[in-house]
Structure 1
Amino acid sequence: MTGPTEQDPGREQDVDATDAAFSALLEDSTEELYEQAPCGYLSTLMDGTIAKINDTLLGWLGLSRQQVVGRLRFPDLLTVGGKLYHETHLAPLLQMHGEAGGIALDIKAAQGQRMPVLVTSKVKTSDDGEPMLVRTTVFDARDRRAYETELLRARQAADRARRQAEADRERLQEALAVLQQSLLPAELPTVPGLEAGSYYHIASPDLLGGDFYDLFRVDADRWAFFLGDVCGKGPRAAAVTSLTRYTLRAAALHDADPVSVLTTLNTVLHERYTSGDARYCTAIFGVLEPGDGHVGVHLASGGHPSALVQRADGSAHDLPTPGGMLIGALPQAEFTPARTQLFPGDTLLLYTDGLTEARTGADRELYGDDALRAFTAAQPPTGPQALITALTELLTSFGDGLDDDTALLALGMPASLPTTASEDLS
């Protein structure tokens, strides 16, 4: 065993031999590193004439050193577009800043191929600051260009898919809008001595709503109206809406009594959807009977919010229909009738629950029935159209708090007729 200060002569010889081998390797590989580097190197005079170029770049070009050095300028190695970019961008950058990095160009590679490269150049100056030559490094960008090309293709494909999806959605929305309109009257008929107004808010253009309303003649002296809401949305709800509208119209022509009409609708819906996908709705159906200076109203409700009456004296109150059951949910259902009379300046308002269930304020509270009565009482009693206009503005003010379809139907007598006392009849 050697002492702590003793050295092993054999070990020293091995270390010296290793150092000598590394030194010899480094000395031998300096020029090789330049010539066989994984990137291209070249040096050019200030006019662009190539003074030195490595084997790597010559291999990419498919040229010999004799063909290049002193014979070609750097722009001669570039494609037409590359030459233009060199003259308009790269050369001015070198003149102004003495360097430029990461310039994407194409060189004329062997066998007439275009080879994408990234070029970094820097001007070498003399001790007194005069430019002497330009040293340039050329990196192979074929893999990067291929990746960028594939990325561009993917983005273009995604853009085409997005545009197609937008076009498809627009066509779908147009078709849904047409179908939605087919479930509503194109316009309300003119009823002698009566004014009518309506509005339909569509919560989403991508979904068919289930709200509906109508006003039509029953016989020479009477007119019928209805408003309701089918459960759910989409094509299936639209099918129920269509069936409901036609059933109500047909039943009214046979027997216009509101309870009888709703009973017929209940039977039709329950039998049609008794198995599988259960479907039901809420609705108010009524009959208008114009009289001497007033219009009698006889209606019935099945699970629907009560109608609201705005009086000419500035008051507003519900027309209660308690106990009315959902239509179509059970084989037998009870419906609650109610009667009232409309005098000049009075308006009967029917609405779906999208209105009262709208979310308002920072706490997203339900708008509610009480707020609707207060709002209606605050409006001038100037007729159905004016009330519908005010309610439309109210719905707009809810913004994204109104997330359900909403149907409004208002019926009343023009205020220009002499005003008499009004009386509700139960």
Structure 2
Amino acid sequence: MTSRTNGGEDGAPGEEDRPPQEQAEFSALLEDSAEDLYEHAHCGYLSTLLDGQIAKINTTLLDWLGYRRDDVVGRKYFSDLLTVGGRLYYETHFAPTLRMHGEISGVALELEAADGTRLPVLVTSTVRTGSEGQPFLIRTTLFDARDRRAYETELLRARQEADKERDRLRALNTTLQRTLLPPALANVPGLDVSAHYHIASADEVGGDFYDLFPLAAGTWGLFLGDVCGKGAAAAAITSLARYTLRAAAVYDPDPAAVLGNLNTVLNHEYNGTDPRFCTVIFGVLTPDGDQGGFRITLASGGHPPALLMRADGTADFLPTPGGQLIGVLPDARITTTTLRLDPGDTLLLHTDGLTEAHVHATTGRGDRYGDDAFLDFGRSLAPTTATATIDAVRDLLDTFGTGVDADTAVLAINVPRAPGDEQQ
């Protein structure tokens, strides 16, 4: 059998294997006196009388401050070691709390060294009492917080830079979003028009868009759409879609042909590993007859149906079944519908950010708003005007709060009643 030696791990010599002189030094290190541990601790120690006069201080704290022991003990008070601001905090908060509770822990203060430099510290103080509970003195421990202060300063600087960058990004997104919307909708004689764009997040550019613009004499084009995704990529598609729709409408204003052109462009440009698509509804408006009405033909490419609110107080979705997403297939199926807007009628186009919003419940996000609730909303408004409709939609979106996950665009057109025909 082999006997166990006094050697340390990995063959290191044990105490008995050391030469006598090293053995004595090693033993002395192991048997540091309590006083030595106090004097050369990694933190500062301080004992004061109840009035704050310093009665004892360790070497570590003296070295931090650059004082001799005789300069401090019996001559200075703890508050004398603090900066002006620290003294004020000590007198108004630190000392009263210590007297009331008998201890206070982890308070950030600044000491002022003999050369005037500042030393951030974390301070913990405890009132020491006698056997009968009478307070005798105050013992204080101070931890050097210079590394922590440097870390906090750097963290604050990084956060300020991040805030500035976020503000710059938001300003850029706002500017970019503004360029994707028309500066003003065309003025169509005999038509009341209103629109609104609700931004779900200022940190990302959405992909909703709309426009109303003149074509040939007595004819106007309008569209409203929603590009998949958010951010710069969605903004690029939005810009391409807007200008393609306007250019295609000038070449051939037939709504199905306009969306067919847009489908060809998107499918050609984005048919690789990152396909992009959108939903769009496009229409052509022309005055119809002497009664002040308008004829409108709408083509839908996978877009939610428009909501028609009639002058007689009824409301329903316009049927545009079967329209396919624009940009996905080389030959998307486009559906159209034609109707007449009479005086008092209002047509509302919207993106699905409205119907996909969540109605807040007492707990959780709540249910999706949905098409049925939106239809009931329209029926409660009819008959209405374009301006009143958009105001009501804005109020509705506000009630959802953070439940609106996606940007929302709405465009309303209304044929005003003739003077004297308005309902009271």
Question: TM-score, normalised to structure 2's length?
Answer: 0.73
Quote the residue 1:195 is aligned against. 192
Q: Are the aligned partners of 1:36 and 1:54 in contact in 2 as well (CA < 8 Å)?
A: no
Tell me the number of residue pairs that the alignment of Structure 1 and Structure 2 aligns: 369
Shift of 1:199: 0.8
Shift of 1:190: 1.1
Give ranges in structure 2 of 5+ residues lacking alignment: 1-31, 40-44
Shift of 1:380: 4.3
Quote the residue 1:38 is aligned against. 38
Quote the residue 2:235 is aligned against. 238
Q: Are the aligned partners of 1:343 and 1:419 in contact in 2 as well (CA < 8 Å)?
A: no
Give ranges in structure 1 of 5+ residues lacking alignment: 1-31, 421-426
Distance 1:59 1:187, change over 3 A: closer
Structure 1: how far apart are the matches of 2:347 and 2:118?
79
1:177-196 residue CA offsets vs partner (Å, 9 max, x unmatched): 11111111122121111110
SS, match of residue 398 in structure 1: helix
Shift of 1:415: 2.0
Quote the residue 1:412 is aligned against. 414
Quote the residue 2:253 is aligned against. 256
Q: Are the aligned partners of 2:314 and 2:382 in contact in 1 as well (CA < 8 Å)?
A: no
Distance 1:82 1:406, change over 3 A: closer
Identify which of 214, 219, 228 aligns with 1:217. Answer: 214
Structure 1: how far apart are the matches of 2:164 and 2:52?
55
Shift of 1:276: 2.6
Q: Percent identity?
A: 42
Shift of 1:400: 2.3
SS, match of residue 38 in structure 2: coil
Counterpart amino acid of 2:38?
P
Structure 2: how far apart are the matches of 1:245 and 1:397?
30
Structure 2: how far apart are the matches of 1:159 and 1:47?
34
Shift of 1:36: 5.2
Structure 2: how far apart are the matches of 1:287 and 1:62?
88
Quote the residue 1:205 is aligned against. 202
Question: In the alignment, does 2:75 pair up with 1:74?
Answer: yes
Distance 1:253 1:417, change over 3 A: farther
Counterpart amino acid of 1:74?
R
1:78-124 residue CA offsets vs partner (Å, 9 max, x unmatched): 967589959x959x979x97x98789786978x99999898878799
- Aligned alpha-carbon RMSD (Å): 4.4
Shift of 1:37: 6.3
Question: In the alignment, does 2:291 pair up with 1:289?
Answer: no
Structure 2: how far apart are the matches of 1:58 and 1:398?
59
Quote the residue 2:152 is aligned against. 155
Q: Are the aligned partners of 2:207 and 2:229 in contact in 1 as well (CA < 8 Å)?
A: yes
1:164-208 residue CA offsets vs partner (Å, 9 max, x unmatched): 111111110111011111111122121111110101111111111
Structure 2: how far apart are the matches of 1:167 and 1:175?
12
- 1:380-395 correspondence runs (5 A): 380-395=382-397
Distance 1:159 1:312, change over 3 A: same
Counterpart amino acid of 2:368?
L
1:129-151 residue CA offsets vs partner (Å, 9 max, x unmatched): 9x9xx878686x4xx21xx1211
Shift of 1:364: 2.7
Structure 2: how far apart are the matches of 1:412 and 1:208?
29
Counterpart amino acid of 2:306?
A
Structure 1: how far apart are the matches of 2:373 and 2:83?
72
- 1:24-423 correspondence runs (5 A): 38-39=38-39, 73-75=74-76, 81=82, 141=142, 144-145=143-144, 148-291=145-288, 292-293=290-291, 294-360=293-359, 362=361, 364-416=366-418
Counterpart amino acid of 1:373?
L
Distance 1:305 1:419, change over 3 A: farther
Structure 1: how far apart are the matches of 2:283 and 2:156?
53
Shift of 1:368: 2.1
Distance 1:63 1:166, change over 3 A: closer
Shift of 1:250: 0.4
